[in-house]
Chains A and B, each alone.
Chain A
Amino acid sequence: MLKLVTAVIKPHKVDDVKEALKAAGVGGLTITEVRGVGRQGGHTEVYRGAEYKVDLLPKVKVEVVVDLADAERVADAIVAAARTDTIGDGKVWITDVERMIRIRTGELGTDAL
């Protein structure tokens, strides 16, 4: 059984999270630059006196697929590494993965990790 651990984090914590995942034994991960809105709110920009409020802030989404037994531990590692104790640190969630295939070999499930 496989689990997908998804985290949306502050962009400057990417390296810390990558290191933490490596230390937790996670071999591969996918990173996407995303934008989102949450409790953090946005900032304002001013162009020739016209003030704009920017709500959608840049974040980074980290996705890793791990074995069921490792999911909680990996999620905790991300939480510890991404935390700055300020609003806007992001979220981590765990979901089921029905099927996974390694493209090169056709291996399935945990063998494909």
Chain B
Amino acid sequence: MESGDVTWILVSSALVLFMTPGLALFYGGMVRSKNVLNMLLMNVYCMGIVPIVWVLVGYSLVTGEGPAAGIIGTLEYAGMAGVVDPEEILFAFFAMTFAVITPALISGGVADRMKWSAWAVFVPVWVLLVFVPVFYWIYGPNGWLEERGSLDFAGGTVIHINAGVAVLALIAVLGKRRGWPKDIMPPHNLPLVMIGAAILWFGWFGFNAGSAGAADASAIQAFMNTFLAGSAGMIAWLAAETVKGGKATTLGAASGIVAGLVAITPAAGHVGGLAALAFGAIAGVLCFAAISLKYRFGYDDSLDVVAVHLVGGLIGGFLIGFFADPEAFGGADFKAGLFFGGGAELLVEQVLSMVVVMAFCFVVTYIIAKALDATIGLRVSEEDETRGLDLSQHAETAYNLTESGSMDRV
């Protein structure tokens, strides 16, 4: 590798890692003040536990080639045994930052009611049983979905669809928050949400453009597309909610940015700039519309991970089938979409890979959730939920705004 490429992947890894605390703020601002610390810790915890799981076995399972080639790797490199090539180490930690943020994304769907101990066990188990196999199928050596020709530039299917479906499976076992949807559960701090969205956007340049694997033309196009899709997503969401509700909102702007970024993720280095605008705009409108699904079907996805990440990921994965343009990348080695003379072949592969990943993720996540519920219990008690998770799970209060005359040192 050229030193310029190495530098870019080093920087990109740091950018992607920064997205997880950004996500913590994005989510943390959206919950009520009695649950904000729990939300922050659910996210930040992933930065601690996932790298441990990753170097011990996760990395080996996505790279080692063995008897189950195409499906899952081996334990040949467990504990990073024999991994001395700097390029392999570089890939190991760039991928690790994606492994960190994927379970963190799930936390938004289960906010306000999941037991901390259950989350602490869920994250490493889910990363190994769901994230690792899906990652292998698309990015591993001879991964079977990639071999068939489906595209996922930076993780629309592996990260966003995967996390969104995991939310559906987890909340099917966990149940609704007490009082939802009748009670008021407004975001307690929208400025935090805005800061979080800004950090996510910033980090996403590493997420998408770093996924080019080099500082090359593909990275430059992905960088441009990451900018454009976020912009178009924001404007489309603001327009949609203005037409529907009469007001443009800060939460809408923040949500639209993320929706656009999710949609362009699987296509970041496969489409041109105008297509990126279309990805962002379509996601901005459809993800906004998808918020209403949880009220119609009665599932309590607290912070709309399904509407933004699952729906956004599906939109992106689907649109690649139309907009993929290898000619724009010097005749690069991937199938062209329907609009660029490739016929429906790519579209079929896109749909297939998304359906397979959704089915696998839902079933395995559901089993994990059931097992955790039967052993340590998935959900906090009614009293703990009412008191708030900050106090009941962590014995802390986020905002001690008055001098506490009622507090004494024990």
A residues in contact (CB < 8 Å) with B: 45-52
Contacts and interface: CB of A to CB of B under 8 A. Distances in A.
A42 to B, nearest CB: 12
B247 A48 contact: no
A32 to B, nearest CB: 13
B26 to A, nearest CB: 13
Interface in B208-264: 241, 244-245, 247, 249, 251-252, 255
Interface of B: 181, 184, 186-187, 241, 244-245, 247, 249, 251-252, 255, 288, 291-292, 295, 304
Given A49-B292, A50-B291, 17 more contacts: A45-B186, A46-B241, A46-B245, A46-B247, A46-B249, A47-B187, A47-B249, A47-B251, A48-B251, A48-B288, A48-B291, A49-B245, A49-B288, A49-B291, A50-B181, A50-B295, A52-B186
Nearest to B237: A48
B304 to A, nearest CB: 6
Contact of A49 (B184, B186, B241): B241
B252 A48 contact: yes
Contacts of B288: 48-49
A46 to B, nearest CB: 5
20 contacts: A45-B186, A46-B241, A46-B245, A46-B247, A47-B186, A47-B187, A47-B249, A47-B251, A48-B251, A48-B252, A48-B255, A48-B288, A49-B241, A49-B244, A49-B291, A49-B292, A50-B181, A50-B291, A51-B245, A52-B186
Nearest to B190: A47
Contacts of B255: 48
The binding surface of chain A is classed by DSSP as strand
Contacts of A50: 181, 291, 295
A51 B292 CA distance: 12
Contacts of B295: 50
B29 to A, nearest CB: 11
A53 B47 CA distance: 39
A38 to B, nearest CB: 20
A46 B187 CA distance: 11
A48 B295 CA distance: 12
B186 A48 contact: no
B306 to A, nearest CB: 12
Contacts of B241: 46, 49
Nearest to B304: A48
A77 to B, nearest CB: 32
B20 to A, nearest CB: 22
Nearest to B247: A46
